[in-house]
Every structure is written in structure tokens, then in C-alpha cells.
Structure 1
Amino acid sequence: MSDVPTWYDLLDVARDASTDEVRAAWKAQIADLEPGERRFDALNRAARVLLDPAARAAYDAEHPVVDDQHCDEREPEEPLVASLPSWDGRNGGVPSWLLAGLAVVAAGLVTITAWTWTSSSAGASGTDPSVRQAQVAAERAVVPVLSYDYEHLDDDQRAAQALMTGSYRQEYDKLFSVLQENAPRTQTRVTASVVASGIVRASGDRVQVLVFVDRPTTNKLGSEPVVYKDQVTLSMQLVDGEWLVDDLITSPVQG
């Protein structure tokens, strides 16, 4: 029996909890957290998986053992499935920043750093032109998607939405609503910038790009920015000749 806590443990709900119970537990646990805290991000990820029927079914299949011991301090392993987004607040995003959550790309996918990464200013020699276009689009999109200012959240939301597919926009909007509730109270501002990026995998009209991002964050507790460093996996989808964000997963850079 594995002692690794699950998303159910993190939210402190039963395996057979209803959607309403999961949503209530999620909202209760993030109520007093700053957008951008590691736990805030983890709770959003858990909610995104467990509130999506298909993602939850896949997660349950990967984690068939029920562990009755709840652990609120450790972040559970991510499921080896890909689909919805994860955005965190103060760490730079929702979905992260937030804003946020939902069926998660495999932790193994993010740790596949055998890919050849390049600085954002360097060309990807030997790379298919279309794939390179997707990489450039991901670098451009990640900044507005992971940046926001509590004083003009509506404008920030519209700027990010323009760079997303319709399906991802729906998930983004769900999590952005949490940001809209919390950011004005905490007076949070996040300004993301790209450090480097690389291709994780490419297949036809879909390309996954890993982007390293700095996210200086300020709030009412201090005017000096705290710089969060994250690795962001963006799934870019080609739609009518334009590369759009179809999924976004963030996790803090380790070490």
C-alpha cells in the first residue's frame, strides 16, 4: 500500500465525494491562502482533476488504493495523464496562477528534461519551422496568461483569453474567478517574464513547450517583489493557422 497522499487527501474529501463536496472543500481550503503559495497551487491542481469527470476517472485508475490517512502538508504525486490546466495565483498565475487547476500533465512529462532547451532569444536550429512557431507563440502567450494586476483584472483576463483555445478558456475562466475574489483583497500584482524554453514533444498540430518563467510578485504585505521561478508546460494547438494555448501546467523550479 502506498503512503503517498492523493488529491483526495489534500482536499480532505472521501473517494466518493460528490462534485459539490469537492468544490466546497477546495474553496474552503484556499480561502485564507495567498494566490501563489505552493499549497494554493496544489489545491487548485487537485480541484481541477477531481472536478472533471474524465480526469477524475483517469486519476482513480492510476491510484486504485484507498489510503485513509490524510496528509495536508505534503503535495501528492501528479497523475500520469494530460488534459486540463493548472494555474497558480501568486506564484505567477492562476493556474497558477492560478488560476488554475484541473487534469494534470504527468509529473514525468515535466521532468523529461532530456529535451534540448534553448534560451528564449536563441533559434532552434534543426527544428521544424512550424514547431519553432509554436515555441515562439508559447513564449509570447505565457507572459499575459501568467501576469495580472489586481487593479485591472478584467483587462488582464481578456488579454490572456485572446491567446487560448475555446476549451482551455473555459477552464481558465473558472480559475480566474478565484483570482478575482482574492487578488483585490491581497492587492497582488504578478509580472511574468520568460527565461528560457524548449520543446517537450511535437505531433502534427499540437506541440508541448516547456518554458522557464520568473514571476516577480508584490502584494499589500510588501512593495518589494518576491521572485518565483517556475517551469510551465504549455500545450499549443494550431487553430486556423494560429498557435493557441490549449493547456497550461505550472510547477516551481526545484533547487
Structure 2
Amino acid sequence: MSPSWYDLLGVAPDASAEEVRGAWRTAIADLDPTDRRFAALNQAAQVLLDPQRRAAYDAELAAAAALAGPTAEADLAEPDHVAATPEPETDRAGRRGVPAWLLVGLAVAVLVVAGVGAWLDVTTPSDRSVEDATSAAQSAAERAVVPILSYDATSLDQSKAAAEQYLTGDYRSEYDKLFEGVIRQNAPSTKTVVTAQLVRSGIVRSGDDRVQVFLLVNQTRTNAADDQPTIYKNWVTMTMEKVGDDWLVAGMDT
């Protein structure tokens, strides 16, 4: 049997969402987004961090296990003295018949797989719809990350306004608390200027109205105490949410 998404991330099938998220972050920490493993690890996290998709995936694994039949260990665990087993029934052509338990097992497995497929057809948006939505969300995240992670001590009101236009109402409240409580309290006295530059982005989780985007960002900082620019390399996971016709930032994990 080929490795599962659980195997890829190195977690148990009953791992919690936090364990899956932690394993994913550790696995991609040193990978370039263009690396093939980066995309595979993101896809694994995308499935296992979505309760509905994970349930459907677990059903597929169960169906595959049913098709695999009894384990080798069970076959080897025979007693030393076994009564003679009757020969399987044969048809008129002399061929052995298929055991009834195997037919029943196959029928159940087929029904499970068919049921999962029907469930996905009903509950999952079309691939094209998700693809278009994901692309739009990624572009919006790329536009938003620079003003959100940049500010200038000499024009804080403009910096704040530039960022707020990309935020949902709920997340704007969180951003305002951070901006007023930290940046506005410290930046004027230190004359700090932070300028963000997008390096590259990738998709963590696709969706029709909610998408997570991974972004690598360089932040250049200058202030009164250090006239030489300092560059910080950061990664950000942005949760993008469809609000009307726009994709807005609903959360950030830096």
C-alpha cells in the first residue's frame, strides 16, 4: 500500500489537528516553495486539517484496507493441529468458486468507496471553481502582505489605512489593537521604518470561499539607533476569506 498523508507528515491516524499542524510546519521549515515535497506536504496538511475532507480520506483508507484482506500475521497464527479443510466448491468447468466472504468484503468495500465518491460530489465544489478561487485568493494575499507588514513612523495613519483595506472586519479589530498598542507607542520615538518585500508564495489549503496562503517575506528595518538597514526573513500564513466579491485577510500566523 502506498504511503498515506499521515505517513508523509509522520503522524498517527488519530493525531490531533495541532499535532498535524506542528508536523507540517516542521516538515516545510527548510524547504523552498518550489520543491516538490513542499507541494505534497501542503496537500497532506490541507486534507488532514479539514475535518470533512479528513473524514472522507479516512473512509478511503478503510476501504483500501478492506480490499487488502487478512494480514499476514493472521495467516501465520494457525494452531499446530488443524482439522482437514474441505476443498472449495467447484463449478461445472472444474474451476474453484470464489469464497462467499471475499464477495461480501468486496461488495462492502465498493459500496464504501462509492458512498465516499457520492458524498464528495455533493459537498465539494468543482475543481475549476476551487482552482479559480484559490488563484484569486493567492493574488489578493500577495497584494495585502506588503502594506500589512510595512509601516513608517513619520506617517503612521497612512500606514494603518493602507493595511486596513485588506482586512475583514473581525481581523481589523485585532490588527488595530496591535498597531495602536505596539507600533504607535514605539515607532515615533525610535523613528522606525519597516518595508516589506514579497519573495514568493504558495498554497497551504484550497477552498471555494476560504484559502490559506503561505508567503515568504523580507522586512527591511531602519531606525534612529541604527542607520544601516537590517533585513529580517519571515514566513507568514494568511487565511483569506471571500467577502462579497473581494478576498480579504481573516487571520495571520507569522
In structure 1, C-alpha distance between the alignment counterparts of 2:234 and 2:207, rounded to whole Å: 25
Residue 113 (structure 1) aligned with residue 51 (structure 2): no
Q: Report the Cα distance in structure 1 between the residues aligned to 2:226 and 2:161, rounded to whole angstroms.
A: 27
Which position in structure 2 is the counterpart of 1:182? 186
Larger radius of gyration: 2
- Looking at structure 1, the residues matched to 33 and 215 of structure 2 have their Cα atoms a distance apart, in angstroms, of 9
Give 1:231's aligned residue: 235
Matched position secondary structure for 1:180:
helix
Q: TM-score, normalised by structure 1?
A: 0.52
2:170 to 160, 163, 167: 167
How far the C-alpha of 1:225 sits from its partner, in A, is 0.6
What letter corresponds to residue 80 of structure 1 in structure 2?
A: E
Structure 2 letter corresponding to 1:207: V
* Structure in which a larger fraction of residues adopt helix: 2
**Residue 18 of structure 2: aligned partner:** 80
Question: 2-side partners of 1:108 and 1:239: how far apart?
Answer: 31
Post-superposition offset of 1:107: 4.3
Would the alpha carbon gap of residues 117 and 157 (structure 1) be closer, same or farther in structure 2, given more than 3 Å must change? Answer: same
Q: Following superposition of structure 1 onto structure 2, how do residues 86-235 of structure 1 map, counting pairs within 5 Å?
A: 106-108=21-23, 110-111=25-26, 113=28, 117-118=33-34, 128-177=131-180, 178-235=182-239
Code of the aligned partner of 2:211:
V
CA shift, 1:112, in A, is 5.4
CA deviation after TM superposition for structure 1 residue 202, in Å: 1.5
The Cα of 1:221 is off from its aligned counterpart by 1.1
Question: By how many angstroms is 1:186 displaced?
Answer: 1.3
Deviations 1:135-158 (A, max 9, x none): 111011000000000010111101
TM-score, with normalisation over the residues of structure 2? 0.52
Paired position in structure 1 for 2:12 = none
Unmatched segments (≥5 aa) in structure 2? 1-15, 36-127
Q: Supply the distance in 1 between the matched residues of 2:171 and 2:165 (Cα, whole angstroms).
A: 11
Contact residue 134 and residue 207 of structure 2 kept, 8 A = no
Listed as ranges, the gaps of 5+ residues in structure 1 are 1-61, 63-78, 82-104, 120-125, 251-255
Deviation at 1:116, TM superposition (A): 8.7
Partner Cα distance (1:246, 1:112) in 2: 25
- Paired residues in the alignment total 144
Report how far residue 113 of structure 1 moved: 2.8
Shift of 1:110: 3.8
Range 177-186 or range 141-150, more displaced: 177-186
CA RMSD of aligned residues (A): 2.9
Report deviation, 1:203: 2.4
Distance 1:188 1:116, change over 3 A: closer
| Contact 1:116–1:199 under 8 Å retained in 2 | no
CA shift, 1:198, in A, is: 0.1
The structure-2 alpha-carbon separation of the partners of 1:221 and 1:158, relative to structure 1 and needing over 3 Å to count, comes to same
> CA-to-partner distance for each residue in 1:28-49, whole Å, 9 max, x for gaps?
xxxxxxxxxxxxxxxxxxxxxx
Identity %: 46
User: Does the 8 A contact of 1:118 with 1:196 survive in 2?
Assistant: no
Are the counterparts in 2 of residues 112 and 200 from structure 1 also a CA contact under 8 Å?
no
Indicate conservation of the 8 Å contact 2:237/2:253, yes or no.
Answer: yes
